[in-house]
Structure 1
């Protein structure tokens, strides 16, 4: 079994890594379901303050993955979120390359819907990129997107945690005003949404600097190859270098996107459906859909044997603590990166697939907007994960680990006869059934009352003589 964190969260296996901590699949013993736990691995004041800001964010929206709870154990802290098993948009691009325009419009609509709620709370995300946009493992059904990782987000008006001339975020997805050191604002998030849309439509990371330079020098260019003109008009409104010429709100961009979708051609019968695979994989040994599994007992044995392994010491004697195996610590397991998309080659060996050639950008005035593409997965390579895996986030548990010391009397002394308890002698009268406490007997209460009245009378007489 894994390490039980703060008596509640049992760390199962690492599934990824964020900017300041590792992400684990964990079993919540209280809510009896699997969750994603982000464990902070740095303890400096600056990182801890960002962690506190992120875990304090509570946004309820189907397309937002915000922290749900947090816990601390000695010098380690974590917060938990819903477990999303479909990987990120980078995995989808690695599997299929450029995505169909209607499929991209559906993803953008969900992203803008979640972002509108985030902005309504006064929060600027500041790190919108494909790796921070997760997908539920829906197979060939309707995709479900979740905006995650609010590690560097901040509310408008909050003091910065960095110097004014220090830019935080992911290079390649900065808005021009961010590079100039402007205060974080909502249009900067919308610029990053436009870059994510180009990434989905072209299958490769766009060159944001060349794009901004071309917009500034020549104005809005014509639509790139493979992007319908109505959709491009919406993306051009997101990618304007001047934030005042850009869409001001996510709701406004979403309305324009809805109108553009109505003018797109319907998908053909030969179009390949996009399938979102399970990227986490099966549970490790010792865990099932209902949580941690307990070792089965043999029918002929009345109880577990007192000795479980050769390395276990002898049973404890009187006054000694029962033996318990040490939990696996974070220092022993280390940190892990999220696995690359299945079938994708190493970055040094990336090359366009002959089955899916890279679509040119199509800008006649400024070629070369896109960087070298990441190769889509080889069609012959089978997926290492099962498709359509059941949702483990709502599964109840059937067993909860117990403290060995609490069951020591039943495992170490099974054959000893029970010792009868000595009879209990009552030293005081029993409490009446009505629940009132009895007073002193009359032969004691009456003299005490007489003495009290005499003292009261003497006190009154003394006051009249003054």
Structure 2
């Protein structure tokens, strides 16, 4: 049987890892269901404050995967969310390569619906990328997308957690105005949605620097290789370097996408895109209705958990480039190396048509690149959590009052 955390969550097996925490499949005793539990691996003040912000989000939307609850036990903290087993968009492209335009439009419509719900709460996500967009395991039926990982999200008007010389976000998916130090705003998320769209349609990570330079020097290209013109007009508007030239809202982008779909040719015959279960079967002692109580281990109720001894479950799925468990890269996955910068010649001729970098490595953690890095200070988690929660409530009162 699994280890029990805070007397409520039975941690079963690790299914992924992010920048600051490991994600476990867990049994929620109170709700009687399996959940994903993100366990914080660090206890420095900066990471804990991000944890407080992320777990405080309560966005109830079918295309958003936000935290549902949280708990603290001794020097460890976690929050839980729905367990999503179909992997990420990065996994899907790794398996199938460029996706059919109509299938991409379905995914983009759902993503924009989720972004609309997030923005309606006054929240800027700041890290929209393929690895943070998860999928339910729907097989060959209509896909169901969930926007996840709000670790660096913030409400408009909140104080930043970083100094002005930090760039927060995943390299390659940061809007140009953010690179120039602008305050986080909704159009930055829409720029990232445009890059995700290009990634899905072309099957490779887009060169955002080359795209921005091309748009700045030559304007938006009339078309991009392999992308139907009506759909390209929507994507090109999302990719405008000037935030004022993009769609004003995610709702506006979604309306334009709906109009573009009506002009697309009907899908031709071909192999269907399949979104299959990547987490794999439950280990012995667990069934669809929860743990086998007859096999309860002596560790139950101890509150400990063996992050260093348990290994990632083997996912039963079709092999493909970059495939790994959902909710991030597995604990043993190496960090991706830096991508080469585009040359000046690439800007004019290769930004949209030439083969680019290989598909994005799933689970790439969000990065904050400080100019003056320093070691984190360890703190007492329960005391700091209480202080940070008070701080978060005070900030919320100031920004909403």
Q: Deviations over 1:219-263 (max 9, x none)?
A: 010211210000000001100001111112100000000000000
Which residue matches 2:350?
Answer: 367
Within the candidate set 333, 336, 360, 2:309 is matched to 333
Confirm or deny: 8 A CA contact 1:345 1:375 kept in the other structure. no
Which residue matches 1:387?
Answer: none
Instruction: Give the gaps of 5 or more residues in structure 1.
Output: 297-307, 309-321, 348-362, 377-466
User: Within 5 A, what are the aligned runs for 1:309-458?
Assistant: 329-333=305-309, 342-345=318-321, 365-369=348-352, 371-374=356-359
Distance 2:124 2:359 in 1: 29
Distance 2:115 2:321 in 1: 33
Q: Deviations over 1:424-462 (max 9, x none)?
A: xxxxxxxxxxxxxxxxxxxxxxxxxxxxxxxxxxxxxxx
Confirm or deny: 8 A CA contact 1:214 1:366 kept in the other structure. no
User: Within 5 A, what are the aligned runs for 1:44-443?
Assistant: 44-268=44-268, 270-295=269-294, 329-333=305-309, 342-345=318-321, 365-369=348-352, 371-374=356-359
By how many angstroms is 1:91 displaced? 1.1
By how many angstroms is 1:271 displaced? 2.3
Which residue matches 2:368?
Answer: none
Distance 1:94 1:3 in 2: 34
Higher alpha-carbon Rg: 1
By how many angstroms is 1:328 displaced? 6.0
Distance 1:57 1:341 in 2: 32
Using a 3 Å threshold, how does the CA distance of structure 1 residues 77 and 364 change in structure 2: closer, same or farther?
A: closer
Confirm or deny: 8 A CA contact 1:90 1:341 kept in the other structure. no
Distance 2:299 2:210 in 1: 64
Which residue matches 1:408?
Answer: none
Confirm or deny: 8 A CA contact 2:213 2:347 kept in the other structure. no
Confirm or deny: 8 A CA contact 1:17 1:336 kept in the other structure. no
By how many angstroms is 1:2 displaced? 1.1
| C-alpha RMSD of matched pairs (Å) | 2.6
Q: Deviations over 1:273-295 (max 9, x none)?
A: 11101010000111111111134
Confirm or deny: 8 A CA contact 2:94 2:322 kept in the other structure. no
Using a 3 Å threshold, how does the CA distance of structure 1 residues 368 and 51 change in structure 2: closer, same or farther?
A: same
Q: Deviations over 1:90-145 (max 9, x none)?
A: 11111111000000000000000010010011000000000000000000111000
* Paired residue total: 336
Which residue matches 1:437?
Answer: none
By how many angstroms is 1:368 displaced? 4.3
Distance 1:54 1:92 in 2: 26
SS, match of residue 85 in structure 1? coil
Q: Deviations over 1:142-167 (max 9, x none)?
A: 10000000000000000000001211
Name which structure has the greater RCO, CA cutoff 8 Å, separation 6+: 2
Confirm or deny: 8 A CA contact 1:50 1:151 kept in the other structure. yes
SS, match of residue 349 in structure 2? coil
SS, match of residue 26 in structure 1? strand
SS, match of residue 333 in structure 1? coil
Distance 1:284 1:91 in 2: 23
Confirm or deny: 8 A CA contact 1:35 1:82 kept in the other structure. yes
User: Please, which moves more after superposition, 135-144 or 323-332?
Assistant: 323-332
Using a 3 Å threshold, how does the CA distance of structure 1 residues 340 and 175 change in structure 2: closer, same or farther?
A: farther
Distance 2:109 2:157 in 1: 28
Confirm or deny: 8 A CA contact 1:17 1:335 kept in the other structure. no
Distance 1:188 1:255 in 2: 19
Q: Deviations over 1:385-435 (max 9, x none)?
A: xxxxxxxxxxxxxxxxxxxxxxxxxxxxxxxxxxxxxxxxxxxxxxxxxxx
Confirm or deny: 8 A CA contact 2:35 2:80 kept in the other structure. yes
Confirm or deny: 8 A CA contact 2:21 2:41 kept in the other structure. yes
Distance 1:243 1:338 in 2: 43
Normalising by structure 1, what TM-score?
0.68
Which residue matches 1:6?
Answer: 6
Using a 3 Å threshold, how does the CA distance of structure 1 residues 32 and 210 change in structure 2: closer, same or farther?
A: same
Distance 2:255 2:201 in 1: 20
Distance 1:341 1:187 in 2: 36
Distance 1:324 1:44 in 2: 28
